[in-house]
Structure 1
Amino acid sequence: MNTTTIQLPNRRHLLLRMRFQLLGGLTFAILLPALIRMSVDPQVIWSPNMQITIFAAFVAHTSGYMLYKRIGNFPGVAAAGYILPTFALTYGLVFATIFFFRFDYSRFQAAASFIQSTLWYFGLGLATRRLDPYRLAIIPGGDVDKLESIAGVSWHRIYSPDAVVEYASGVVADLRADLSDDWERYIADRALSGTPVYHVKQIRESLTGRVEIEHLSENTLGSLNPNQAYLKIKQAFDWMSALSVLTVFSPLLVFVAIAIKIDSPGPALFRQKRMGYRGHPYEVYKFRTMKLGTTVGDEKEAAITKADDTRITRLGRFLRKSRIDELPQAFNILRGEMSWIGPRPEALVLSKWYEAELPFYRYRHIVQPGITGWAQVNQGHVAAVDDVLEKLHYDFYYIKNFSPWLDLLIVFRTIKTVVTGFGAH
């Protein structure tokens, strides 16, 4: 019988190894600037401010690298695009802490460390772009036929259990399919050889950022329970940050309210009943962006906002695109009704409609609704039932992967959304 050899990268190139990347980054971003300073003044290394700066830069650089790697694990993420904001966040937090406690530090060392950290990982990204193609081998049988339509992966079908996988990023199989004994032994051999073996559903979710919900089982629902410890931490952070936002931006809120009153007659705030946490309705607060008294049909149609909706005022279009109209929802966060990040809360009439049309729709209320979320940054604003079903796939992925890393990625993508206007309806 003919033997097929499938060669996929298994042993990672030196540039792809974590130890090389992190140690190289620390050397380039921290040790090198310190050596440059020492070439001018050899005694500078013994100064307290230099030692404090080196320690702080070490913490910021290591934290930034770990965060950058965690964010890069999520689907559809071009990790290089998150290098600058990730390291800006970690360096900013560390040196803001130092500034707050009035520790003396070297501004040259701090700035050089931050700049060279970003340059190091940008350079690594360019150098390794072709060294780490994500290639997966597919074992026939079961629900694997649609995998090859997923972009960003080089797929290789294995047609015989006699195929030899010398190097592999991974092997994908439908582990619930009725596979032959030969294929079962093949899968076991691949696992024993150190090649990762993925279930088709697992790899599909990882690559698309969506959880298929058409055939949910009780086991699936159990795996969708959010991390309760992080849920409590997130609620505390939401409350404190909402209080800070309302305090800092109170002049802006007053200015926007006055501008709305001048732009069109009616109240500055828009209130609407929406479905909230654990299926409890609540009243959401937003800046009004539409004209009053315009009828567009029944209650359900009135609750749907279209991209070219004639009810939106001139000022309202700017407020929606910039997301300033969402700021009053900080009051909802203070009241424990919402979070900054979570599934989008729907108008009560729409939520009841979707619940009647879509199985498991109510399960999205297991976490607090959010001002922004995974579905919004991937899909934008939708209202049709078919589109809402697609959004539900993203909502379930968010619930299943509920974590600070995913929330931070959503924050970065939301900033991009505000700049580009994607999903701003």
Structure 2
Amino acid sequence: MTTESVPAPHTARPLAGAGPVTTALHPPRGPARPRARALSPARPAAGGRGPVAALLAADALAPALTAALLPAPGHLPPAVLALLVLLQPALHACRGLYRPSLSPSALAEAPTVAGLALLQWLVLTEALTAHDSRYAIGWRELVLAVLTQTAFCCAARGLVHLGRRRAAARRPQSVLVVGRGTLAQQVTRALTARPEYGMRPVGQIAAAPDDGGPLPLLTTRQAVARTVGGHAVRHALFTEPPGPDTETAALLRLFARHGCRLWLVEGGAAAGNAWSRAVGHDHLWGLSVRPLRAALHRPVARAVKRVIDTVVAAAALILAAPVMAACALAVRVADGPGGVIFRQERVGLDGKPFTLLKFRTLSPADEHESATLWNVAFDRRMSTTGSLLRRTSLDELPQLWNVLRGDMSLVGPRPERPYFVAKFSHVHPGYQARHRMPAGITGLAQIHGLRGDTSIEERARFDNHYIETWSPWRDVCILARTAASLLRLGGS
């Protein structure tokens, strides 16, 4: 990698950083701490797909059984039955009833299940009545249908949760505890004593060896990487919120590459704080827990993002082909012989370099100038054509090919050159964390006017906020605002 601060395999660089979270790690001082007995790698569990598939089947079966038992005046049409079977899993997915949980409970889910069943049957009743009065369902039948469907659904989900707990106890997954102090020890004891959670602690990531805990202490990035890979770690439990420092960002990227689920345990002083964040019903043996749902850990949404990128980029390349041909001709006429496409190395996802494409608006004197000259917007060597291309952002149209290839996304942090990535990473905390997501043609910082020679610290702040709150709909909104800004000639 060009810009990632990843040490060579023979070194043991301590994880160091600033911030309140205990992922700012340093090597132990004083006498060496006795290491716990080496643990054999845990067998990978069945994962989350099995329970989710079982829950989907339970949720689809419940309305079908309810419709079969409903004393309605007439049999429901097959299309309506199909809608019943498909609608409930869709509603449950929107309400997050398939998200991973450490302590799933059908009773805790019952109010949500009942509310969605009522909504489902109300919509269905109105649609049926409007289509054919023979299928009208009275309030009595409606209430009976909602109660019956809720009972079937909760009973089935309860059986799925019970089977999941038993399977988890038989085949636990490896987990790392990130933090130190009393709360970390409580988490370790709870996981060790309660096998139904399906988690086996195999290491602790902490800054100092004074906790006296039973787990091996991991103080370097290499040690963490070896443990995550060697023990097939699938979960990481944080006892404090992850901070914005570069080492924490590197740790989160490591977890993301191995598909680890991240959890934040809120206990001790946080649990007694009236202003602490609500965490819902989930808990770890009495300790409130919530998932850290970063953009990195949403594979379905990320797949949707990639599909949108591919479809939109392909369509845009086709539609913009005449404009791109005109731009290429204008560059050739204005700047003379030479390639009309300018290629430059940029840093993308996980700090990996790629070649970015743009229309040539200025020919650099040499490769060093190309790599280290910050802003050429007001360079006197730039022709009128080049200036126009930059003002209208037409010079960036070839980056649609980068999107189609997978080097970039339509929306994401703007990629920078390796020289400036290394420079900004030392000056601005959190700058490296921008590389958690693919680079983009446009982004949240750009639609707020942070283009060209503007604050790097503010850009990084907007980029990291985008990553932490990302959704496909947000990408659509950013693209719409970008299109509006282009009409005002707000290029870089």
Please report the TM-score for the alignment, with normalisation by the length of structure 1: 0.45
Higher percent of residues as helix: 1
Work out which of the two has the higher radius of gyration on C-alpha atoms and give 1 or 2: 2
